[in-house]
Amino acid sequence: MSDEKTVENKLEDGIGRVQDGAENLFNKAADRTDGLACNKACAALDAVRDCVADQPVVAVSVAGLFGFILGALLARKS
């Protein structure tokens, strides 16, 4: 009985170490890709934010037109 518990504990410890290692690997990969992708994406997001702040009426009009066209296309398919 104690041998089974010992083996079970060792397996749980091993699985925990594998999970921790995989999590660390995924976090490192995500950090590296976030840094690369954020440069262009953040610049584009900042540009859009600036345009919306400078011309809010145009931004709302474009968003409304886009929503109307998308709604018409979705209604047509149904």
Q: What are the distances in angstroms from CA 64 to CA 11, 50, 55, 74?
A: 58, 19, 14, 15
pLDDT at 17: 79
pLDDT tens per residue, range 5-63: 787 887 788 777 777 777 777 777 766 665 666 677 778 888 888 888 888 899 999 99
Which pTM does this prediction carry? Answer: 0.46
Q: How far apart are CA 15 and CA 20, in angstroms?
A: 9
pLDDT tens per residue, range 51-61: 888 888 999 99
